Amino acid sequence: MNAGGTATTAAWLADELAAGRVTSVDVTQRHLDRIADVDDRVHAFLHVDAEGALEAAAASDERRAAGEPLSVLDGVPIAVKDVLTTKGMPTTCGSKILEGWVPPYDATVVRRLREAGLPILGKTNMDEFAMGSSTEHSAYGPTRNPWDLDRIPGGSGGGSAAAVAAYEAPFAIGTDTGGSIRQPGAVTGTVGVKPTYGGVSRYGLVALANSLDQAGPVTRTVLDAALLHEVIGGHDPLDSTSIDQPLPALVDAVRRGESGDLTGVRIGVVTELGGEGYQAGVLRRFQESVDLMVKAGAEVVEVSCPHFVHALATYYLILPAEASSNLARFDAMRYGLRVVPDGSPSAEEVMRATRDAGFGDEVKRRIILGTYALSSGYYDAYYGQAQKVRTLITRDFEAAFEQADVLVSPTAPTTAFRIGEKVDDPLAMYLNDLATIPANLSGVPGISVPNGLADEDGLPSGVQVLAPAMADDRVYRVGAALETLLTREWGGPLLDRATGLEGGAA
């Protein structure tokens, strides 16, 4: 793909900056130019902050020139999903109800990016309040997949994944409540990491479901993800669920994996995450990845997690329950939109009119589902029951991790589908997260690594690697090894083969 000089990894840019061969202002401007060239077609961004990004870039260049202390990624620009609050920059969560809202504070993740000197290019498109698997539920129109502009880039974080796949940003921040970092990674040929729950602060992450949400890296390489994860991760006293323990050494883990050697690593293939419902080409690529790992010395065991078949149903009770209570704060009084009906309406009437106009159909559907699941007569039958199944899923993980160091599966059951294909069929949409949801229910970390193109359609698929909580280093080690093994097979990065943006104005 001709990317106007932006087809470089964040790690490479960091080295170039350190060697004084480029400036952050140059690098940032090049990405802003790329955005200007292609984003009218991709629509990865909801807001581009050229001025703020260039200012941060100039400040980084000045610190470097003055010999001041710099972070590893100082001066490397980044994009941020529009669900994280950014002081002085709009934050809409892809919803009309927050149109024009400018938060008075930064999310901890955003503050850490700024403190580490990363210029923020802008905010990326997403399904409204992170509900969806295609970014078609954004109130501001869909994002398109750089592999084929008629197809979805995954969701809810399709904007971040498409920005990275289209070389509009070297990397980005996403959030993953049921798969929204990993599934967009799989269908755009990029790398996505959902950290251990509590490993990255949720302060300033507009909550979809507090017990499931986790912010993480969206990148083109496993090394870039580790570098970024080390910047954003670690304990935050502002988030009561943040784990007060040091992060494992993630970049070191990538270095260990980069040789491609997997001798002594026990890989568990999860029986329940494959087979029926998965596209044949996706399963073939997955099997090839497993074969490659075996050749590289891994020991492969088949593990069964019998309760995973209930994960989707469990998730779609717990998530709407938490979401319905979180979204109650959008009441026309505190933030964003306020619709005032004619006459002298009561506060309730203003709230009703605002929520009716401000929320999209999927959001309303989940509020209704969640309110029902939590209602007094049904709490035990639905929400209470779902929490019990959640415990059983966690026990399945514990048993599986006694037999294997990591678990693997296809990340998403299919490659990118066409825009419009599933948008009116909620169940078909929910099924995209079949393989990613168990990790959110149990809080364990996972990575999606691109593992080739499905034969049927020539579109990318991903392999998911899961590890026990706080063993994020394992997903990086195995992810890096897989990336090395696969890149050797391909003779170069997979994204070089994306042609969706060729022939246009770029």
> Would strands 120-124 and 45-48 be described as parallel, antiparallel, or unpaired?
antiparallel
The reply on whether position 166 binds ligand GLN by CB under 6 A is: no
Active site residue 156: yes
Q: In terms of CB distance, is 319 or 453 closer to ligand GLN?
A: 319
Residue among 50 and 431 whose Cβ is closer to ligand GLN: 431
Burial 83-93 (b: 16+ CB within 10 A, else e): bbbbeebbbbb
Instruction: Tell me whether residue 253 or residue 312 sits nearer to ligand GLN (CB atom).
Output: 312
| Cβ atoms of 138 and 168 closer than 8 Å | no
Q: Is 133 in the site for ligand GLN (CB under 6 A)?
A: yes
Rounded to a whole number of angstroms, the minimum distance from the CB of residue 137 to ligand GLN is 8
Residue 441 CB, nearest approach to ligand GLN (Å): 12
> Does 180 sit near ligand GLN (CB under 6 A)?
yes
- Judged by beta carbon, residue 208 or residue 453, the one nearer ligand GLN is 208
Site for ligand GLN in 185-244 (CB under 6 A): 208
Handedness of CA 208, 214, 217, 218 (dihedral sign): negative
Q: Does 153 bind ligand GLN (CB under 6 A)?
A: no
The residue (of 192 and 268) whose beta carbon lies closer to ligand GLN is: 192
Closest CA to 447 of 286, 218, 242: 218
**Does 173 participate in binding ligand GLN (rule CB under 6 A)?**
no
Kindly tell me which residue out of 86, 135, 160, 177 binds ligand GLN, with binding defined by CB under 6 A. 177
- Please identify, among the stretches 9-17, 128-136, 240-248, 483-491, the one whose residues bind ligand GLN according to the rule CB under 6 A: 128-136
Q: Which of 35, 46, 48, 131 touches ligand GLN by CB under 6 A?
A: 131
CB of 302 to ligand GLN, least distance (A): 27
Positive or negative, the Cα torsion across 101, 105, 109, 110? positive
Question: Quick check: is 376 catalytic?
Answer: no
In the complex, the smallest distance separating the C-beta of residue 294 from ligand GLN, rounded to whole angstroms, is 31
> Taking CB under 6 A as the rule, which mask of x and - marks residues 414-453 in contact with ligand GLN?
-------------------x--------------------
CB of 184 to ligand GLN, least distance (A): 9
Residue 240: how many other CB atoms lie within 10 Å: 10
Assess whether the previous peptide bond of 24 is cis (omega < 30° from 0). no
Task: Tell me if 4 sits within 8 A of 32, measured CB to CB.
Answer: no
How many other β-carbons are positioned within 10 Å of the β-carbon of residue 368?
A: 12
Pick the piece of the chain touching ligand GLN (CB under 6 A) from 60-68, 170-178, 381-389, 470-478: 170-178
Is the Cβ–Cβ distance between 94 and 82 less than 8 Å? yes
Contact 212, 177 (CB under 8 A): yes
Give whichever of 54 and 131 is closer to ligand GLN, judged by the CB atom: 131
Specify whether the CB–CB gap between 222 and 185 falls below 8 A. Answer: no
The strand order across the sheet containing 45-48 reads 45-48, 120-124, 78-81, 172-175, 215-219, 191-194, 446-453, 460-466, 406-410, 266-270, 299-303
Q: Does 136 bind ligand GLN (CB under 6 A)?
A: no
Q: How far is the CB of 253 from ligand GLN (least distance, A)?
A: 24
Strand 266-270 to 299-303 pairing:
parallel
> Could you give the string, one character per residue 292-331, with x where binding to ligand GLN holds by CB under 6 A and - elsewhere?
---------------------------x------------
Residue type, 464: Q
Q: What is the DSSP letter of 97?
A: G
Task: Give whole-number Cα distances, 93 to 90, 127, 464, 477, in Å.
Answer: 10, 8, 26, 33
* Minimum CB distance to ligand GLN, residue 153 (Å): 13
Q: Is 134 a catalytic residue?
A: no
Write out the residues near ligand GLN by the rule CB under 6 A: 130-133, 155-156, 176-180, 208, 319, 433
The residues annotated with a catalytic role in the active site are 81, 156, 180
